[in-house]
Each structure stands twice: as structure tokens, then as C-alpha cells.
Amino acid sequence: MSSSLPLLRHYIDGEFVASAKRFANVSPVDGRMLGEVCEADGDTVNRAVAAARAAQAGAWGRTSAGERADALLRIAAGIERRFEEFVAAEVGDTGRSVKQARSLDIARGVQNFRTFAELVRQAGGEFYEMRAADGNDVFSYTVRKPHGVVAVISPWNLPLLLLTWKVAPALACGNSVVAKPSEETPASASLLAEVIHEAGLPAGAFNLVHGFGPDSAGEFLTRHPDVDAITFTGESRTGEAIMRVAAAGVREVSFELGGKNAAVVFADADFDKAVAGVLRSSFTNSGQVCLCSERVYVERPTFERFVAALKAGAEKLKIGYPDEDDVDMGPLISRAHRDKVLDYFALARAEGATVVTGGGVPRFGDARDDGAYVQPTIWTGLDDGARCVREEVFGPVCHVAPFDSEEEVVRRVNDSEYGLCAALWTRDLKRAHALSRRFRVGMVWVNTWFLRDLRTPFGGVGLSGIGREGGRHSLDFYSELTTVCVNP
């Protein structure tokens, strides 16, 4: 590898450190090498965990909630000062549009730190009074205490957004953090380490190690006996593997895993809004969001019209460079992931799908042909047992099927091993409230998608994960409650 390329290092015990083993950071836009990344071995991870443990016994462990909130606000301000650097890092690693990186990814990174700074200031404990048998007035109250060392393993699809969604509440609750970002998207995590360093947190409060999963930084970190809790967002199979490892020591886990999410469109829905909503929920970030809709159920009277309108909308989506005006879709994260998605495209045809539109690789006649682009794709005609209807593709694709009754669509939405979210499009709010309670998912959107108050609980059921994060629910995961009972 060229020594002229940027080198992304680990951040351990307040210092940026290199390791001998390196891997390439490759652009999904055109396949060029963006830089080199140090890969952590077992000794490197041991150093990071030891630094985190020492910080608990030292300065970071003695901070008050107010002091930690102030630190989070300094981090938020630091991200804002270097906003465009974060945009460039995120766009370089993912190929997503500059517009999305600015309006969603980096903006939410700032907001995550500010939200949890405010929440930890306001988080009071419980207080109870009772009369004991001896006549004394007994007082009981609760105190929040950190777990200790928290391992944060974040994914590549929304790198900074999902990393800060975990790091911010973990630090707010007083934990020390060892973070491992995806090997596909290391740049914004490295910038975050620089900002945290500049914010003046005690050495060891936050540590960053780069690497892969099995037999690399991810496995070394989750197996480490001095890690007290693990939070992970990513593939369901990886979550299962981490959960088996976390059983040793009965450690706390929080998993946000995959989804095979449904969108349900009733004939009474605002047709244009429903079409636009399903286009967005199926193809945002090239379908690489765990909340995307890969199964679409449309009430039969409007089915044919809906499919035609969805096709027209998908074919108008602009696929291009991240900095192009009005670009709607960028590449997939890597050519390896594109191969997986294309395998599903081939499988869908073999299973008998009708390809309404897409199903292939766009050709540009320029450097993007060396990237990881695929076409937005719509299928119809598969039965509910088809693999392409049951397995998560994680690409810009949806299968559209008709339904005839509420009972039928509830059964079909719930006929999945996953249960992350659903989107429901109808003008009948009585129906919306009733069906939302019956869908076996962690979140239901009604006449919208991807709209969240950060104080609300987030998570799924089944293969979509375990636990809830968001607002006070994050504080509950990242802290332990101790009850103190005082008999004067």
C-alpha cells in the first residue's frame, strides 16, 4: 500500500496509536483506495479495555452527571466546528449524497450528543417513603451507576449517526467506551476520536479500535472478560454469535439487528403520498437502512395503479456521484455487498418473480463503473414463502403484493422471523391505531416513515434484536440501578 495515503489509527488511553497490520479503505463510488486503516490485534484490544477500566477507577469514574453532560456538549460543538470534514469522511466511505450526509448523518451526530446531555441532567431517581414495623419512617431511593466498560460495535450503513447514538448515552451514564466501527466506514469514527480528544475527556474514557469481526477486533472485544456490556447494530447472525459470547459472565447486551420490514397501503390512503413514502422507505440510502421496506402490501383495488406509479417513480430516481445536484441514490457499500444483492436479484428470477423495473447494474461509461452501484428494483409475483420475500436483501429492492382484508395483511406482515418496523398508509386512523397494536414489530409509522422523536424507545423483536434504546430507555441500558434503603 502507498505510504502517501492517509493512515487511520486506533485511539487508546488518550493517544493515537498505530499497529503493524493494515487494510485498505476503498471508495464504493469508483473503487479507488482512500487510505489505510490499522487493524487491531488482541494485544491492542487488551490495551484499550485496560485503559477503559483504569478510567473507571480514575478521573472519569469520579465525574458527576453535570460534568459528563458538559463534556457531551463540548463534543457536539466539536463536531459542528469540523462539520464539513465529517461530511467528507462519511461521503468518502459510503458514497451517499453530500445532501444526506449534511442534513441527516452529521446533523444527527451532533443532536445525539446534545439530546443525551440534556437527558442525563434531568434523569432523577425514584424516591419512596414507608412506615416500618418499628414505627420509623424509612426512605428508599435509587441511584444510577455505570456498568463500567461498554463495547460499542457500530455498522457501516449510517456510520456516525449510529455510532454516536450509542457512544453518547454510554458516556452520559459514566461508562468508559471501547468502540469498533465497521471496517467499511472507519473515517468518521476516527474524526470523532479527534473531537473527543479535543473535548478534554480523561484518558481512557473513550477508546477506538479498528478491524474486522471474527478473529479480529470485534471478536477480541466482545470476548474480553473485562467488558461489562455490549451494544451492537448489524446483521442478525452476528448478533447471535455475540450473544453466545456475552453469555460468559452474563453481560448486558443491546442489539439492533436486521429487518424484513413491511409497508401496508390501503385503498383509502392518500395515493400520491403513499407512493412517495414507499419510494423513500424502499430506496433511501440505496435500501441500506435496517428500517427500509422490502415487503409492500397494497389493497387489491389500487394494486395495479400503485405498482405502475411506483415503477415510474423508481425509474426517475437519479443515480450518481455524491456531489451531483438532486442525486437520489449512490452505490452500495462495497462490490462484495453488491454481489450479495445481485445474487438475490438472480434468485428472485429463479423463484418466479416479475421484475417490474431494475434488476441489474447501471452503466455510466466513467469511473463509477468500477464502483458498487445497482438499479432500484421492484418485484411482483412471489409467494410469501419465497426466500426473496423472507430474507433480508439490504439493497434498493421491494416486492409488492396485493391483499384483500385486514386480517390477511396482519397475518402476512407478522409472518416473518424479523420484527423491526412497519409503515401503514391509510386515512382511517381508527384502523391505524388498531392494526398498529397487532403488528409484531418494535415501531409502526402511520402515513410517514423514518420520523423519530429521539426520546422514544427504539428496537425490534425476533431476529430484529433485543432491548430498547432511545431517551430514558438508553439510560436504562447504559446504567445499573441501585436501591438505597435508609432506616434512620
Q: Using one digit for the tens of pLDDT, what is the confidence trace for 16-53?
A: 999 999 999 999 999 999 999 999 999 999 999 999 99
Range of the domain at 211: 7-257+464-486
* 204-213 burial: b if 16+ Cβ within 10 Å, else e: bbbbbbbbbb
> Which pLDDT score is estimated for 460?
97
* Whether the predicted pLDDT of 1 surpasses 60: no
- Kindly state whether residues 24 and 110 are assigned to the same domain: yes
Q: Provide the pLDDT for residue 234.
A: 96
How high is the pLDDT of residue 4? Answer: 80
Asked whether residue 41 falls in the same domain as residue 189, the answer is: yes
Dump pLDDT digits (tens) for 176-223: 999 999 999 999 999 999 999 999 999 999 999 999 999 999 999 999
pLDDT one-digit tens code per residue, 255-272? 999 999 999 999 999 999
Cα separation, 334 vs 29, in Å, equals 9
**Could you give the angle at the alpha carbon of 136 between the alpha carbons of 132 and 137, nearest 5°?**
85
Structure confidence by residue, pLDDT tens digits, 135-146 = 999 999 999 999
CA dist 378 and 398 (Å) reads: 5
Query: Taking 60 as the threshold, does the pLDDT of residue 121 lie above it?
Result: yes
Same domain, 243 and 293: no
Residue 459 in domain = no
User: Is 197 a member of any domain?
Assistant: yes
Residue 41 is assigned to a structural domain of this protein: yes
pLDDT at residue 72 above 60? yes
Catalytic residue among 290, 292, 398, 421: 290
Angle at 228 (CA atoms; ends 224, 232), nearest 5 degrees: 80
Could you tell me if 433 and 412 are in contact, meaning their C-beta atoms sit under 8 angstroms apart?
no
Q: What pLDDT is recorded for position 481? A: 94
Among residues 443, 445, 470, the alpha carbon closest in space to that of 112 is found at 470
CATH number, domain of 428, equals 3.40.309.10
Handedness of CA 454, 460, 464, 465 (dihedral sign): positive
Q: How do residues 440-473 score in pLDDT, each as one tens digit?
A: 999 999 999 999 998 899 999 999 999 999 999 9
Is residue 2 predicted with pLDDT exceeding 80? no
143 and 22 inside one domain: yes
Query: Of 90, 183, 184, 256, which residue is the catalytic one?
Result: 256
Is 80 catalytic? The answer is: no
Q: Does any domain span residue 1?
A: no
Can you give the CATH number for the domain in which 25 is found? Answer: 3.40.605.10
- Which residues, 6 or more positions from 453, have their beta carbon under 8 angstroms from its beta carbon? none
Amino acid identity, residue 188?
S
Give the model's confidence band at 3: pLDDT under 50 very low, under 70 low, under 90 confident, else very high.
Answer: low
Q: What is the pLDDT of the chain when averaged over all its residues?
A: 97
Judged on CB neighbours under 10 Å (0-12, 13-18, 19+), 94 is buried
2: in domain: no
Question: Cβ of 360: how many Cβ atoms within 10 Å?
Answer: 11
Look up the pTM and report it: 0.96
* Total tally of structural domains belonging to the chain: 2
CA angle 210/214/217 to nearest 5° reads 25
Handedness of CA 111, 112, 113, 116 (dihedral sign): positive
Residues 81 and 115 in one domain: yes
Residue that is written with C-alpha cell 415503477 in the block:
311
- Given a cut of 60, whether residue 70 has pLDDT beyond it is yes
One domain for residues 334 and 282: yes
Name the packing angle between helices 406-414 and 429-438 (round to 10°).
Answer: 40
Q: Give residue 125's pLDDT band: very low, low, confident or very high (50, 70, 90).
A: confident
In a domain, 458, yes or no: no
pLDDT tens readout for residues 268-294: 999 999 999 999 999 999 999 999 999
Residue 488 pLDDT grade (very low, low, confident, very high; cuts 50, 70, 90): confident
Active site residue 256: yes
Report the pLDDT averaged over residues 161-186.
98
Output the 3-class SS for 303-338: HHHHHHHHHHHHHHCCECCCCCCCCCECCCCCHHHH
